[in-house]
Structure formats: C-alpha cells, structure tokens
Amino acid sequence: MNLILFTIEETARPLPRSDVRAGHLLSVLRRQPGGQFDCGLINGPRGTGTLVAIGAEALNLTFAWGAPPAAADTISLVLGLPRPQTARDILRDATALGIADLHFALTEKSDRSYAQSTLWSRGEWQRHLIAGAEQAFDTRVPAVTHGQTLAETLAGLFVDTSRIALDNYEAAVPLSSCLVLRDKPIVLAIGPERGWTAADRGLLRTHGFTLAHLGPRVLRTETAVVVALTLVKAARGSL
C-alpha cells in the first residue's frame, strides 16, 4: 500500500487489529504510537494519519486532510465481461492508471457464469478498485457497473463522447490514429476473451463507435486495457 485508504465512517472509529490495514501499519510500515503515515479518503482528499495508540483489539488513529483531489480523467471503459481473474486485474490496473468509469457488459460471447462469480456477487470487486488506487497513491476510484447487456450499457453512455472499440478482425486503423480530440471525453470498448460477434460490432457502430486495432499481435484482454489506456493518456499529455 503506497497510500492507505479509508471511508469517512471508518475514520470515526478505531481500526480493528484484524483489518489488513492495521497489519500493514504495524508489520510493514512498523509504526509505533506517534508515528505518521500517508492516507486518503476514498474519492476525497489525501492526508496524514497518526497512530495514537495500539490497543489489544484495535488501533486508535487521527487524521489531517489536505485539498480535495482533481477530477478523474474523462475516460470510460466498456468491457465484454471477462473471466473473473482477468476482471480482477483490470479493476486494479485501470484504477491505478486513472479513469472515470468502468462498465462490465454481457456480450454474445460472454460466459454468463462469470457474472455469478463471488467477485460480483459478494462485492469483492470494490477491494480491487481500492488496491489500484492505493498503488497509484491516489484516492479516486472509478464508478463501476456490471451485469447489464452491451445494449443497455451503450444506451447509458454520455452522448458527447469520442467512441472507439478495439477489434482484431474488422478494424482498419490503429488506435493511435483515432486519438485527435485530446480534451473530449472518450469511451474505449474492449471485447471479452472470445471477441466481438457481428451483432456486437453492429451495435457498437450504431452507437457511434469507430473500430480500431492495437497492431497485428493478439493481446490478452488485461494487456490490451493497459496498452489502450496508456495510448489515450499519452495522447492527452497526462503521462
């Protein structure tokens, strides 16, 4: 953890010794009473925490907060629902890179059983967002939707956006050639491991998406996400 994140409610009560953050403070950072550490409120300011006392059951902490964070980059990511382990990597790494929102949509080739994973059914996905933000020394986590169809997800997007879908088969241009509107919000769509179907492509085109590629190599979904976000952020001058 480069930054330890809390909700506002958690800052008002002692931190249980069983909490992984308490273990990090004591065993990794090796803080003693009076010791300070970097912390933040989820989607709020960063600040400095102080370990006031170490009790048998909990740690007593105090916090001093700085200025609110800047707005997140206006980048949205639409993903054909991938297998749970791939989704975990994407949740963490996309958050670390910094985006506004992240949508896991059911496509024709999505395995419906993935939507029943404990990742989604038990709220585990939130933990991976926080891990990504803590890694990036940032407090901002993207808004996330899951369980909707691709049609429902696309219908809910903001209207005035630049829209690009990655595709290995029918795309005629590289992603880098599409990144000309630096300040306009952008939506990137990436298919599930089995790719888009013809119907998916038709739906994407109907909603104003341009098909683009990342070159002749076929990348893992989680790798494609990192590469695509890196190219977008580089074109915007934010990397």
Residue-wise DSSP of 74-122: SEEEEEE---HHHHHHHHHHHHHH--SEEEEEE-TTS-GGGGGSHHHHT
Whose tokens are 């809390």? That residue is 6
- What pLDDT sits at residue 181? 66
11/21 Cα distance (integer angstroms): 13
Give the best-scoring range by mean pLDDT among 97-106, 107-116, 175-184: 97-106
Q: How far apart are the first and last CA of the chain?
A: 22
- In the predicted structure, residue 238 carries a pLDDT above the cut 90: no
Q: Output the pLDDT for position 72.
A: 86
Query: Angle CA(117)–CA(123)–CA(37) in degrees, nearest 5?
Result: 130
Number of Cβ within 10 Å of residue 231's Cβ equals 19
Residue 223 has pLDDT above 70, yes or no: yes
3-state SS assignment for residue 212 = strand
What is d(CA 62, CA 111) in angstroms, rounded to the nearest whole number? Answer: 46
If one counts every other C-beta atom within 10 angstroms of the C-beta of residue 222, the result is 22
Report the pLDDT averaged over residues 159-182: 88
pTM: 0.93
- Per cent of the chain over pLDDT 70 is 99
Mean pLDDT estimate for the chain: 94
Under 8 Å between Cβ of 125 and 144: yes
Q: Mean of the pLDDT values across residues 190-217?
A: 95
User: What is the per-residue pLDDT for 113?
Assistant: 92
Supply the pLDDT for residue 158. 85
Mean pLDDT is lowest, of 51-60, 65-74, 80-89, for 65-74
What does the alpha-carbon distance between residue 23 and residue 211 come to, in Å, rounded to a whole number? 47
The answer to whether residue 159 scores a pLDDT higher than 90 is: no
Confidence of residue 71 (pLDDT cuts 50, 70, 90): confident
DSSP, res 72? P
- Asked if 195 and 169 touch (Cβ cutoff 8 Å), the reply is yes
> By mean pLDDT, which of 43-57, 172-186, 205-219 is the weakest?
172-186
User: What is the predicted pLDDT for the residue at 227?
Assistant: 96
Indicate whether 1 pLDDT > 90: no
Q: Are strands 101-106 and 143-149 parallel, antiparallel or unpaired?
A: parallel
Mean pLDDT of 59-88: 95
Joined tokens for residue 193: 């491991």
Contact residues for 153 (Cβ-Cβ < 8 A; gap 6+)? 78, 103, 105, 145
Domains of the chain: 4-65 (2.40.240.20), 75-235 (3.40.1280.10)
CA distance 170 to 41: 44
